[in-house]
Chain A
Amino acid sequence: MKTTIAALLLALPLLASAADFYDKMRGNVPLDQTTAPPPIVNPDNSDVRRSRNYAMQPPVVPHKIEGYQLDRNANRCMMCHARTRTQESQAPMISVTHFMDRDGNFLAELSPRRYFCLQCHVPQANLNPLVSNQFRDVDTMLNQAQPAQGASAPARKK
């Protein structure tokens, strides 16, 4: 009996890995092999600002940033989004939080901890999400909620 169970346990991963392996991002390619990369997509370059999914969301980048230099020497994003450049570029200024150090003191310019824009702000491309999600924003949730008994919830403005 014991040997049968042991044999089954040993054989189980082998059986599973042989044919059934499937991953949304990897496809059928086993973990020990390299997948063929998909072609590079053209990112959204429409310059139309998208609404945020929640109030604290870092706004996404509605334009191409290919080849933008972002290193110790230069920050291409700040050439338009810096406070001093926005009149000329008409780009949105980096938010006031970006001038604060972690103690909440305001600095003269972009705080070093906010220097690498792409940590939070990313360009967008029209693709099918590899991992599905059911996120709904808070307004959708509130509008769906049933009003409590007796007291009717005030109608929410869009």
Chain B
Amino acid sequence: MRRILKRYWDILRRPSVHLSLGFLTIGAFVMGILFWGGFNTIMEATNTEKFCTGCHEMRDNVFAELQNTIHYSNRSGVRAICSDCHVPHEWTAKIARKMAASKEVWGKLFGTIDTREKFEAHRLQLANNEWRRLKANNSLECRNCHQFDSMDFTKQSKRAVDAHSTQLARGEKTCIDCHKGIAHTLPDMAGVK
């Protein structure tokens, strides 16, 4: 084992005999672009609505629920797709989330929620994952579109102003504290504060 490793290490250390330095540097540069572009293209592809609803688990449960809500159909035609709320936009956080999603691939392979009953049994746990994430990042995905600074309190209803101008403004509460269940059906809320 050690000998094999040493052999490859020696090959890597040896200067190239036949290939020019120019070929190696420019070639590495071009390959870098291709790999990086390809990597990002594939990652973006996993961010599309088509990809997310490709599995019946998403299409028949959470996506069906989303369609009745304001984030899917509304008067002005602006639509938030799955990744707008469930995947961070910033690169580092996005990669972290994408790596965490390997758990979801595992779930898909082993059918953790492949029936309606199993999904309902996991609903609270799944919702808790998202609530915890949004609570921890101060509802970052909400704020990608809903900027506090852009809110016109004179155009909000009295109740909305009462909540937004006090607890939200002071940072005591974040969007998800009150706006649970706006995009998907709530799980059994007994015991949820």
Q: Is A103 an interface residue (CB 8 A)?
A: no
**Interface status of B187 (Cβ within 8 A of chain A):** yes
Q: Could you say which residues of chain B place their CB within 8 Å of the CB of A74?
A: 181, 185-189
Q: How far is the CB of A119 from chain B (nearest CB, A)?
A: 20
**B10-18, B33-41, B154-162: which lies at the interface:** B154-162
A63–B187 touching, CB < 8 Å: no
Point out the residue from B68, B69, B162, B182 that lies within 8 Å of A90, measured CB to CB.
Answer: B162
- Distance in Å: Cβ of B124 to nearest Cβ of chain A: 9
In the complex, the answer to whether B186 meets A69 with C-beta atoms within 8 Å is yes
Question: Does any Cβ of B come within 8 Å of A32's Cβ?
Answer: no
B157 near A47 with CB under 8 A, answer yes
Query: Counting CB contacts under 8 A, is A46 at the interface?
Result: yes
Instruction: Give complex CA distance A64, B156 in Å.
Output: 12
CA distance A71 to B186 in the complex (A): 9
Complex Cα distance A45/B68, Å? 21
* A67, B157: Cα distance in complex, Å: 16
Instruction: Please determine whether A73 and B187 come into contact, CB atoms closer than 8 angstroms.
Output: yes
Among residues of B, the one whose C-beta sits closest to the C-beta of A66 is B70
Total contacting residues, chain A, CB less than 8 A: 14
Interface of B is mostly: loop
Given A46-B158, A90-B162, does the pair A67, B186 have CB atoms closer than 8 Å? no
Residue in A63, A69, A73, A90 whose beta carbon sits within 8 Å of that of B157 in the complex? A63
| Cα distance, A10 to B158, chains bound together (Å) | 61
Closest to A78 in B: B189
Q: Tally chain B residues at the interface, Cβ within 8 Å.
A: 14
CA distance A63 to B182 in the complex (A): 17
Q: Mark out the residues of chain B between 155 and 193 whose CB falls within 8 Å of any chain A CB in the assembled complex.
A: 157-159, 162, 181-182, 185-189
Residues of A contacting B189 with CB < 8 Å? 73-75
B181 proximity list for chain A (CB < 8 A): 69, 74, 76
* Nearest A residue to B162, CB-CB: A90
A73 near B159 (CB under 8 angstroms)? no
B158 touches A67 (CB 8 A): no
Q: Report whether A69 and B162 are in contact in the complex, using a CB–CB cutoff of 8 Å.
A: no
B158 pairs with A47, CB closer than 8 A = yes
Residues of A within 8 A of B68 (CB): 67
| Max chain B Cβ within 10 angstroms of own Cβ: one of A72, A74, A75, A90 | A74
Interface centre among A67, A71, A73, A90 (most CB of B within 10 A): A73
Instruction: Determine the chain B residues whose CB is within 8 A of the CB of A71 once the complex forms.
Output: 185
Chain A residues with Cβ under 8 A from B162's Cβ? 90
From 38 to 90 in chain B, residues with beta carbon under 8 angstroms from any chain A beta carbon are 68-70
Which B-chain residue is minimally distant from A74 (CB atoms)?
A: B186
A-B pairs with lowest CB-CB distance, top 6:
A74-B186, A74-B189, A47-B158, A73-B188, A45-B157, A69-B186
14 more CB-based (< 8 A) A-B contacts, given A73-B189, A74-B187: A46-B157, A46-B158, A47-B158, A63-B157, A67-B69, A69-B185, A69-B186, A72-B188, A73-B187, A73-B188, A74-B188, A74-B189, A75-B189, A90-B162
Listed by A's residue number, 10 A-B pairs whose Cβ atoms lie within 8 Å are: A46-B157, A47-B158, A63-B157, A67-B68, A69-B185, A69-B186, A73-B186, A74-B181, A74-B189, A76-B181
